[in-house]
Amino acid sequence: MQNFINQLSQVLEKKYILTQDEDKAPYLTDWRKRFTGKAFAVLLPSTSNEVAAIVKLCAQYQIALVPQGGHTGFCGGATPDNSGKQVILNLKRMNQIREIDIANQTITLEAGCILQSAQEKAAENGYLFPLSLGAEGSCMIGGNLATNAGGTNVLRYGNTRDLCLGLEVVTAKGEIWNGIKGLRKDNTGYDLRDLFIGSEGTLGIITAAVMKLYPLPVSQWTTLVACENIASTIALLTLFQKRANSLLTGFEMMTRESLNLNEKHFPQMANPLQGNPPYTVLIELSDHESEEHVRQLLETILEDAFEKSIISDAVIASNLTQANSFWHMREHITLAQAEEGANLKHDITIPLSSLDSFIRETDELMREKFPGVRIINFGHLGDGNLHYNIAPPLGTDPKTFNETNEKLIHELVYGQVERCKGSISAEHGVGQLKLDDLRGHKGEVAHDLMKMLKTALDPQNILNPHKVVSI
């Protein structure tokens, strides 16, 4: 190890090689405090060449490395194991915006750029970088790509994968693959870019990316509406998709229980809809035409929904501040859950046609088998992406409850997901949290193909081992 450190100090200045416990501590535990590990060192490179040189050394000494961005991921992908032999490679110093190309409508970002800085840079130039999620003030573009993050704009603009045109990646051999191209068409064989996106640091280290920009919408209207049941929320989505089509940029669902929790921990986040209905839906329409045009369309669709008894109440934000407060309410659910203590997360996708029966049956089974649990249910309904989170019964110690019941509760939910032909990871990834569940979920053939890819691209198993797939 000493030789490794000596050689490292020829690559990185000493102050960027953290080996003291107090210096390493902030990098060892994830945002949620769900995963903690030990690391032999934390390395903070600032260029792709430094990353490549570090990976070469790791390959030479057979030292495993764990790539890390903002450490906001929910599946423990960026947390090292407990051996103390792994090295964390945090990309936060690689935070340059390399280029904005207006004619091409692209922005080239280094992996350590904070998502919010990318959004701000795009907006300064009159463009929209549409990736948006609650952690945008701390997550980084490399982490977003590595997890193929989703968020609240997927309905209109797609996942991170859909926003990416080109990548620069350091391979397990320590070579730099320069795929930094801003092309919208490029059918030159296997799509290497798409292989690295969503691979959670197990196939390569993403160091930079070319991302798509879109013209900034000139008008945006946000509304909160009340629905009595999940079937009505889906009927409402269908109505909006038909009538507003590509103007529909947000469709988020929140249950009464999730907003009650919000209000308990953040009283200023109370639901403005009378009586906090069973289901509150946040809808956003955006357009490049006049404010009037979108407002009228929104009102017409809402009237239609009232007439069809799909909704029972609605409030349209009268200004940007109020619209932002609606979004804050939505984004605070995760924070309210964290205040309440550890919960069991299920980030799942269900075909919209099966969502109603999924929720009814899963809720029933959950209440029968785990009396008193609190089902905190919300999500990106427009994408069929549900956050089906389980909080322990009131008065129970979350740690003890989760230790005893976590596996059984995951089994119950994932069993229901399989029954509905859904996915056990919609947008958060696999990491270490879902490693054991993946094989059964993907099926033998798909899982074996994944292992073959991992073995081919990282034969020494030094890139984030035992995350996503074990070889």
Which residues would be at the binding site for ligand FAD (CB under 6 A)? 31, 66-74, 77-78, 91, 111, 133-135, 139-140, 142-144, 146-147, 149-151, 200-201, 205-206, 334, 427-428, 431, 464, 467
- What backbone phi and psi angles, to 5 degrees, belong to 401? -60, -45
Burial degree of 256 (CB within 10 A; 0-12, 13-18, 19+): middle
Q: Where are the alpha helices (DSSP H) in 172-229?
A: 192-196
Among 71, 332, 345, 410, binds ligand 2HG (CB under 6 A): 345
Please choose which of ligand 2HG, ligand FAD, none residue 389 contacts, taking the beta carbon within 5 to 8 angstroms, the exact cut-off set by kind: ligand 2HG
Give the total of residues touching ligand 2HG (CB under 6 A). 6
Contacts 24+ apart (CB under 8 A), 264-268: 264/336, 264/340, 265/332, 265/335, 265/336, 265/339, 265/340, 266/332, 266/335, 266/336
Least distance from C-beta 133 to ligand 2HG, angstroms?
Answer: 6
Residue, CB closest to ligand 2HG: 334
Please choose which of ligand FAD, ligand 2HG, none residue 345 contacts, taking the beta carbon within 5 to 8 angstroms, the exact cut-off set by kind: ligand 2HG
Please choose which of ligand FAD, ligand 2HG, none residue 143 contacts, taking the beta carbon within 5 to 8 angstroms, the exact cut-off set by kind: ligand FAD
> Please, which of residues 225-284 interact with ligand 2HG by CB under 6 A?
none
d(CA 299, CA 148): 35
Task: Report the residue count for the chain.
Answer: 471
Listed residue (332, 328, 363, 329) closest to 346, CA to CA: 363
DSSP assignment string, 21-81: HHHHGGGTB-TTS--B---SEEE---SHHHHHHHHHHHHHHT--EEEESSS--SSSTTS--
Least distance from C-beta 334 to ligand 2HG, angstroms?
Answer: 3
DSSP secondary structure letter of residue 217:
P
Please say which residue, 334 or 416, places its beta carbon nearer to ligand 2HG.
334
Least distance from C-beta 316 to ligand 2HG, angstroms?
Answer: 23
Kind and range of the H or E run holding 385: strand 385-391
Please say which residue, 43 or 298, places its beta carbon nearer to ligand FAD.
43
Please choose which of ligand FAD, ligand 2HG, none residue 223 contacts, taking the beta carbon within 5 to 8 angstroms, the exact cut-off set by kind: none
Side chain identity at 181, as an amino acid letter? Answer: K
Least distance from C-beta 331 to ligand 2HG, angstroms?
Answer: 6
Please say which residue, 89 or 163, places its beta carbon nearer to ligand 2HG.
163
Please say which residue, 271 or 334, places its beta carbon nearer to ligand 2HG.
334
- For 356, the token pair is 């109603």
Least distance from C-beta 105 to ligand FAD, angstroms?
Answer: 23
Among 222, 334, 362, 425, binds ligand 2HG (CB under 6 A): 334
d(CA 8, CA 174): 14
d(CA 466, CA 432): 7
Please choose which of ligand 2HG, ligand FAD, none residue 434 contacts, taking the beta carbon within 5 to 8 angstroms, the exact cut-off set by kind: none
> Please, which of residues 124-153 interact with ligand 2HG by CB under 6 A?
134
Least distance from C-beta 389 to ligand 2HG, angstroms?
Answer: 5
The reply on whether position 389 binds ligand 2HG by CB under 6 A is yes
Least distance from C-beta 252 to ligand FAD, angstroms?
Answer: 10
Least distance from C-beta 56 to ligand 2HG, angstroms?
Answer: 36
Least distance from C-beta 37 to ligand 2HG, angstroms?
Answer: 22
CA 329 to chain centroid, in Å, comes to: 18
Please say which residue, 169 or 329, places its beta carbon nearer to ligand 2HG.
329
Contact 261, 224 (CB under 8 A): no
Please say which residue, 32 or 243, places its beta carbon nearer to ligand FAD.
32
Least distance from C-beta 391 to ligand 2HG, angstroms?
Answer: 11
Please choose which of ligand 2HG, ligand FAD, none residue 76 contacts, taking the beta carbon within 5 to 8 angstroms, the exact cut-off set by kind: none
Cα radius of gyration (the chain):
23
Contact 330, 282 (CB under 8 A): yes
Kind and range of the H or E run holding 4: helix 2-8
Q: Tell me the residue ranges of DSSP E strands in 228-372.
A: 248-255, 279-287, 313-316, 347-349
The reply on whether position 377 binds ligand 2HG by CB under 6 A is no
Please choose which of ligand FAD, ligand 2HG, none residue 346 contacts, taking the beta carbon within 5 to 8 angstroms, the exact cut-off set by kind: none
User: Which residues contact ligand 2HG by CB under 6 A?
Assistant: 134, 334, 337, 345, 387, 389
